[in-house]
Amino acid sequence: MNMKVYFVYFAIFFLLLSGCTKPTIFPSGNWIDLTHVFSSETIYCPTSETFELE
Give the number of domains in the chain: 1
Task: Report the alpha-carbon distance of residue 47 to residue 53 in Å, rounded.
Answer: 19
- Domain presence at residue 18: no
pLDDT at residue 42 tops 80: no
Residues with Cβ within 8 Å of 45's Cβ and at least 6 positions away in sequence, in order, are none
Rg (CA), the chain: 26
Q: Which domain holds residue 38?
A: 30-54
pTM of the model: 0.35
Residue 48 has pLDDT above 70, yes or no: no
In a domain, 7, yes or no: no
Residue 8 maps to a domain: no
What mean pLDDT is predicted for residues 24-28? Answer: 69
Distance CA 9, CA 20 (A): 17
Q: Which of 22, 38, 21, 14 is nearest to 47 (CA)?
A: 38
